[in-house]
Structure 1
Amino acid sequence: MTDTTDTTPGFVTATRTFYDAVAEDYAEQFRDGITSKPLDRAVLTAYAELVGPGRRVADLGCGPGRTTGFLAALGLEMSGLDLSESMLAIARRENPGIPFAQGSM
């Protein structure tokens, strides 16, 4: 017999529901995220250089996948994890070559 009881804490369910509801607006609001932030770009570029080309990295809480895509473009083998399936739909649409999965940290 398989136990199908949902043990997800209420705050996780509430967070998922919220981000699912605002995903498209969030992605549009922060469309220029990394491109408009030179310090963020520099830190992420330095990180990619330290990790090394081709190394596997997971972006936990990836949202619409902007940082995931940026790091992939720098040569890292990226994957993304997010709680919100709506955020993941955007991440997959904008980064078709990167695997994204739904889950909780």
Structure 2
Amino acid sequence: MMPTPQDEIAVQRAYDQVADTYANHFRSTEPELPVDLGMIELFASFLPSGKRVLDAGCGAGRMMPVLATFGCQVEGVDFPPEMIRRARQGLGRLLTSVGMTEVARLERAAASHERTGQAVLIARA
């Protein structure tokens, strides 16, 4: 069953309400296991020079600096505005954007990245 627009709004509001608590509690990669971070590093190692990565569902952006450390040019997108606000607070140099309208753009970006040998990382539930 497809989520309704009301469901999407409810999810967005819920994430907006916990954005500061979440971002303050998970400031970097504390919740990730070493094997998870190893998979991210391995993922980045397969990308060509100039590694552009789209972190779809970036939340407060805690994985974006990790990807940047591995030489990736990272763009983060998510749909709760408060999560993006927190990502921008801590990661001003990394581009972030917000909005459900981003979904179509993400699909186009993924197709474009596939054609150009770039990558899209979608790693969160």
TM-score normalised by the shorter chain: which range applies? 0.7 to 0.9
Percent identity, aligned pairs only, is 33
- More displaced stretch, 22-31 vs 73-82: 22-31
SS of 1:58's equivalent in the other structure is strand
Matched, 1:99 2:95: yes
SS of 2:46's equivalent in the other structure is helix
Q: Pick one of 17, 22, 25 that aligns with 2:18.
A: 22
Q: CA RMSD in A?
A: 1.8
How far off is 1:40 after superposition? Answer: 1.4
CA distance in 2, matches of 1:34, 1:54: 27
- Length-normalised TM-score, structure 2: 0.70
Q: Looking at CA atoms only, which structure, 1 or 2, has the larger radius of gyration?
A: 1
- Length-normalised TM-score, structure 1: 0.83
Q: Pick one of 29, 36, 40 that aligns with 1:40.
A: 36
Moved over 4 A (4+): none
- Counterparts of 1:1-105 in structure 2, within 5 Å, are 9-34=5-30, 37-104=33-100, 105=103
For residues 30-53 of structure 1, give each alpha carbon's deviation from its aligned partner in whole angstroms, at most 9, with x where no partner exists. Answer: 224357521111011111111234
Q: What runs of 5+ residues in structure 2 fail to find an aligned partner?
A: 104-125
How many residue pairs match? The answer is 98
Q: What runs of 5+ residues in structure 1 fail to find an aligned partner?
A: 1-7
